[in-house]
Amino acid sequence: TLAYKYQAEKKLQQTAAMNQMLLASEHAPSLGKAEAKVHLVEFLDPACETCAVFFPSVKKLMAANPDPIRLSIRHVPLHQGSEHVVRILESTRSQGRYWETLEAVLAAQGQWTMNHRVYPEKVWPTLEALGLDLERVRREMNSPEIAQRMAKDTADARSLGVTKTPEYFANGQPMPRFGLEELQG
């Protein structure tokens, strides 16, 4: 029994170490201190209804525990057309407006998605209300740098077995079950 437990623990540690390599992404938008005790990585599709529902809870969790938690977002455009919105989100980072854009886009999701399909032209009014430099967004959203970041997120998600969003990893470990209680635990 002890040998089995030791092997199981060793395998968990090896999996966590390998996952950490895939999850460690210098390009991922992050909130919280780099030295936080808990690093929560969320794979998110902006067109995912569950992502939009869960994100305010994740923000509340962060606000209630500002020092021990760091949140990093990795984009996985699984819904048809959501890669357009991911490109927009990525381009707002150069204006220092990623987080507020993400919150606004998720809050207005019902205006630009229908039946899990994205209508990209309907996202722009939400962006206008934020006062972003939209010409800059349009110029930058198709840049090679953004394409590379998107490709890395997608490849890492595949390697980690991410097939749906939101998918969470805490300190390199996938969440054992999906749910708000599991996130708060």
Confidence of residue 17 (pLDDT cuts 50, 70, 90): low
For 20-49, b/e burial (b = at least 16 CB within 10 A) is eebbebebbbbbbeeebeebbbbbbbbbbe
- For residue 11, what pLDDT is reported? 53
Each residue's pLDDT tens digit, 24-34: 677 899 999 98
pTM: 0.86
Residue 173 structure tokens: 């470990």
Each residue's pLDDT tens digit, 131-183: 999 999 999 999 999 999 999 999 999 988 899 999 998 888 888 777 777 77
Angstrom distance (rounded) from CA 103 to CA 56 = 8
SS3 readout for the chain: CHHHHHHHHHHHHHHHHHHHHHHCCCCCCEECCCCCCEEEEEEECCCCHHHHHHHHHHHHHHHHCCCCEEEEEEECCCCECHHHHHHHHHHHHHHCCHHHHHHHHHHCHHHHEECCEECHHHCHHHHHHHCCCHHHHHHHCCCHHHHHHHHHHHHHHHHHCCCCCCEEEECCEECCCCCHHHHHC
